Structure 1
Amino acid sequence: MVAESAAYASGPDATAFRPRRSVLYMPSSNERALEKAKTLAVDALILDLEDAVAPDAKEVARENACAAVRSGEYGRRELTIRVNGLGSQWHDADLAAACAAGPDAVVVPKVGSADEVRELVAAMEAAGAPERTRLWAMVETPVAVLHAEEIARASDRLACLVLGTNDLYKELGASFAPGRAAIQTSLQLAILAARAAGVAVVDGVYNDVKDADGFRAEACQGRELGFDGKTLIHPGQVEPCNEVFAPSEAQVADARAVIAAFEAAQAEGRGVATVNGRLIENLHVDTARKVLATAEAIAALGR
Structure 2
Amino acid sequence: MSQRTRPYRSVLYIPGSKERALEKAKTLPVDAIIFDLEDAVAPAEKENARATLANALETGDYGPRMRIVRINDLSTEWGLADAAAVKNMQADAVLLPKVNSAADVQALADIVGDMPIWAMMETARGMLKALEIAEHPSLQGFVMGTNDLAKELQSRFRPDRLPMQAGLGLCLLAAKAEGVIIVDGVYNAFKDDDGLQFECEQGRDMGMDGKTIIHPAQIAVTNVAFAPSEAEIDLSRRQIEAFEQAEKEGTGVAVVDGKIVENLHVVTAREILAKADAIAAIND
TM bucket (normalised to shorter chain) is over 0.9
Partner of 1:139: 121
Match of 1:109 in 2: 97
Count of matched residue pairs: 284
Alpha-carbon contact 1:148-1:189 (below 8 Å) kept: yes
Is this contact kept in 2: 1:65–1:81, CA < 8 A?
no
Q: Displacement of 1:102 after TM fit?
A: 3.4
Q: Which residue of the partner structure matches residue 241 of structure 2?
A: 260
Tell me if the contact between 2:5 and 2:272 (Cα under 8 Å) persists in the aligned partners.
Answer: no
* Off by >2 Å, runs of 4+ in structure 1: none
> Where do residues 1-303 of structure 1 align in structure 2 (5 Å cutoff)?
8-9=2-3, 17-125=5-113, 131=114, 133-155=115-137, 157-302=138-283
Instruction: Supply the AA of the counterpart residue of 1:60.
Output: N
Per-residue CA distance 1:18-60 (angstroms, 9 max, x = gap): 2111000001111111111111000000000000111011112
Structure 1 runs not aligned, ≥5 long: 1-6, 10-15, 126-130
Percent of aligned positions with the same letter in both sequences? 52
* Matched residue type, 1:170: K
Amino acid at match of 2:160: G
Q: Distance in 2 between matches of 1:71 and 1:271?
A: 56
Give CA deviations for 1:181-231 in whole Å, capped at 9, x if unaligned: 111111111100000111110100000111111011101100011000000
RMSD: 1.3
3-state DSSP of counterpart to 1:41: coil
**Which structure carries more relative contact order (alpha carbon 8 Å, separation 6+)?**
1
For the residue of structure 2 that corresponds to 1:52, the secondary structure is: coil
Aligned-pair distance for 1:94? 0.6
- SS at 1:38's partner residue? helix
C-alpha separation in 2, matches of 1:36 and 1:168: 30
> How many angstroms does 1:72 deviate by?
4.1
Cα contact 1:8–1:199 (8 A) shared by 2: no
CA contact (8 A) 1:204 1:230 kept: yes
Q: Please tell me whether the aligned partners of residues 123 and 152 of structure 2 are also in contact (alpha carbons under 8 angstroms).
A: yes
Cα distance, 1:8 vs structure 2 = 3.7
